[in-house]
Amino acid sequence: MTNIINAILAINSNARIDVEDNDITKIKWLEGTTPIAEADILAKQTELQTDYDNKEYQRNRASEYPSIADQLDDLYHNGIDGWKTTIKTIKDKYPKE
Amino acid sequence: MTSILKVDNIQKANGSVPKASDLGLNTTGNVLQVVQGTKITSHAITNTSYSSSGLTVNITPTSSSSKVLVTCNWWAGYPSQNYGMTLTLYRDSTNLDLSSPRTGFTHIGNSTGGFQRTYQGLDMSCQFLDSPNTTSETTYGLYYKMDGGVGYFNMNQNGDSASKQTCVITAMEIEG
């Protein structure tokens, strides 16, 4: 879940804030930071969460790709086509939607 | 020559119960009172000047010569990478830290943590023996600030509710 503070920083990267319990009603705007409307924060939070959710396939692929050392070993023993087969198996398992 | 004094009751002239110090005994170092404050909420912060964490305790010293021992325990998640959070104790509006130039009693940083630190944190603590020189109610509190990035007090970066704990600040009045 995208935190409130990440949504605020996506709108204003210089914001100085204190967010209690990830609660949009408990934000302290500090050091002269101009408050951002709750609706704008929530909209940005939804946008970031959607982006995060849409990239689940990337995270799944990344966690299953062999290490660089193992991929180099794959290339050495099986050539480029063999390496491609290994990688494609994982890409197909987690397709880009 | 040994003398033994046996009495059933000792009272002051006004009938009240005497303290040890009223009887001429050396009571320096005695604990006169202990008070505690707790906090269970979490905070994600970006402020670069000290701001109260909300973990505070109030104590009213019985004598201006008393000392106050303040101890504080809390949990903090690792900050966003390459940044750090510094924490200090305040007495009312006065920062009790004496150091320079860093300032602060404790610091938690994240330079090489990587992905796993999203879910990790540290139990942290500090203590200070103060001489407030007052008999007025005094507030001790834990304050924090960042040197950039995002800091996490009583929560991890991921914001897991299970990462919250009970943070405690205790003030003990010590007879001076």
Q: What is the pLDDT of residues B22-42, one digit of tens each?
A: 888 888 999 999 999 999 999
Q: Per-domain residue ranges for chain B?
A: 32-174
CB-CB neighbors (< 8 A) of B49 in chain A: 16, 30-31
CB-CB neighbors (< 8 A) of A5 in chain B: 44-46, 150
The pLDDT value given to residue A37? 97
Q: What is the pLDDT of residues B52-87, one digit of tens each?
A: 999 999 999 999 999 999 999 999 999 988 899 999
Q: Is the pLDDT of residue B102 over 70?
A: no
Contact A21, B40 (CB under 8 A): no
Helix-, strand-, coil-residue percentages of chain A, each rounded to 5 = 60, 5, 30
The pLDDT value given to residue B114? 64
Residues of B with a Cβ under 8 Å from any A Cβ are: 41-49, 51, 54, 150, 155, 159
Q: What is the pLDDT of residues B108-139, one digit of tens each?
A: 887 766 666 788 888 999 999 999 999 999 99
CB contact under 8 Å between A19 and B159, yes or no, is no
Q: Is the pLDDT of residue A13 over 80?
A: yes
Q: Is the pLDDT of residue A30 over 90?
A: yes
The pLDDT value given to residue A69? 95
CB contact under 8 Å between B49 and A31, yes or no, is yes
Task: Give the HSE-up count for residue A46: Cα atoms under 13 Å, Cβ half-sphere.
Answer: 6
First to last CA, chain B: 33
Q: Is the pLDDT of residue B170 over 90?
A: yes
The pLDDT value given to residue B109? 83
Backbone angles phi, psi at B73, to 5 degrees: -130, 135
Residues of A with a Cβ under 8 Å from any B Cβ are: 1, 3-6, 9, 15-22, 28, 30-31
Contact B52, B37 (CB under 8 A): no
Tell me what the mean pLDDT of segment A4-32 comes to. 96
In the DSSP assignment, the letter for residue A6 is H
Reported pTM: 0.81
Average pLDDT, chain A: 94
Neighbour-count burial for A14-28, b at 16+ CB within 10 Å, e otherwise: ebbbbbbbbeeeebb
Backbone angles phi, psi at B142, to 5 degrees: -95, 125
pLDDT confidence tier of residue A71, bands split at 50, 70 and 90? very high
B44–chain A nearest CA distance, Å: 5
CB contact under 8 Å between B46 and A20, yes or no, is no
Tell me what the mean pLDDT of segment A20-44 comes to. 96
CB-CB neighbors (< 8 A) of A2 in chain B: none
Q: Which CATH architecture has domain B32-174?
A: Sandwich (2.60)
Q: Does residue A52 sit in helix, strand or coil?
A: helix
> Which amino acid would we find at residue A63?
S
CB pairs under 8 A between A and B: 46
